[in-house]
Amino acid sequence: MPSPDPQRLSLNTATVKQQWTLAQAIEGCARHGIRGIAPWRDKLAEMGLQKAVAAIRAHDLTVTGLCRGGFFTAKGWLDDNRRAIEEAHALEADCLVLVVGGLPAGSKDLGHARERVQECLSRILPEARQAGVPLAIEPLHPMQAADRACVNTLEQALDLCDALGEDGRNAQSALGVAVDVYHVWWDPKLEEQIARAGRKRILAYHVCDWRVPTRDLLNDRGMMGDGVIELKKIRNWIETAGYSGFHEVEIFSELDWWKRDPDEVLKTCIERHRAT
């Protein structure tokens, strides 16, 4: 299988979140020839939306996703998601990534949380569609079901898309999925569900690796090649499904990559991306 096009590499700014502001990450991408960027909203707020838009345009970067909307079980979710849609629109982001939220405080009712996610999605979907911002449901690893996202498999995310009328038959999906290898690599139905998603519903593709052992449930992701995920195989499935977009590197790494020189991190991302 040929190496991926380096022009398809995107930096999710979480990968250098401890070292760089968004302005620095934008400059860093430009300096290293990385053509895509996916900012997080806290850093975006810090920099200011207009400044960010200007800097990203000045370097002709593609915003491969805005992280994140969702958290539908939290208070103020509607206003927050509306703001996220506006920001994604201003950034001309390929999608708004949705981390849907876990159990509300004090609740154990996972079924109810999941119903709520569907209701909230149906509420914001028309607004997102009108703004031209595709919504990408990101299924999160089952170990994060309680505290971050109660959508935990690609199958479940696609069932949600189907239920909301986004079954991939439209010219462009207003609702689809973000496939992050870290969350889905273990799934025995992954190949089948990637094929089911198809080109129109795969709105983003995130890469990193699964370290063995994994020392923390949230912030111990590995750099591509340092773990056990078959990145080439999954990329092949994704491309076979018709996806030809960016490969976004997203690494939360308290113990390793967040401690390193960010220019070294970007260089390593570029090197390792070649081998995925």
| Angstrom distances, CA of residue 137 to CA of 32, 174, 251, 254, 260 | 30, 11, 19, 25, 31
Q: Which of 205, 104, 101, 200 is nearest to 158 (CA)?
A: 200
One of 2, 60, 79, 108 touching a second copy (CB under 8 A): 108
Minimum Å gap between C-beta 93 and a second copy is 28
One of 115, 147, 261, 264 touching a second copy (CB under 8 A): 147
Can you tell me which residue has the tokens 């300096």? 31
Q: Which of 40, 42, 115 is nearest to 73 (CA)?
A: 115
Q: Which is closer to a second copy, CB of 76 or CB of 106? A: 106
* Interaction between residue 210 and a second copy (CB under 8 A): yes
Minimum Å gap between C-beta 232 and a second copy is 10
Q: Which of 129, 120, 114 is nearest to 81 (CA)?
A: 120
Q: Which is closer to a second copy, CB of 187 or CB of 248? A: 187
* Interaction between residue 45 and a second copy (CB under 8 A): no
Element (H, E) at 269: helix 262-274
Query: Which window, 39-47, 53-61, 103-111, 235-243, contacts a second copy (CB under 8 A)?
Result: 103-111
In whole angstroms, give the CA distance from residue 70 to residue 116. 11
Amino acid at 2: P
Can you tell me which residue has the tokens 């996610």? 117
One of 40, 71, 182, 185 touching a second copy (CB under 8 A): 185
Q: Which is closer to a second copy, CB of 45 or CB of 163? A: 163
In whole angstroms, give the CA distance from residue 249 to residue 229. 14
One of 110, 131, 164, 270 touching a second copy (CB under 8 A): 110
What binding mask, one character per residue, do residues 68-87 give for a second copy by CB under 8 A, x or -? --------------------
Element (H, E) at 40: none
Alpha helices by DSSP H, listed for 59-189, are: 77-90, 110-131, 154-163, 181-184
Residues 221-240 close enough to bind a second copy by CB under 8 A: 228-230
Q: Which is closer to a second copy, CB of 69 or CB of 227? A: 227
Q: Where along the sequence are the contacts to a second copy (CB under 8 A)?
A: 103, 107-110, 114, 141-143, 145-147, 152-153, 155-156, 159, 185-189, 210, 212-214, 217, 228-230
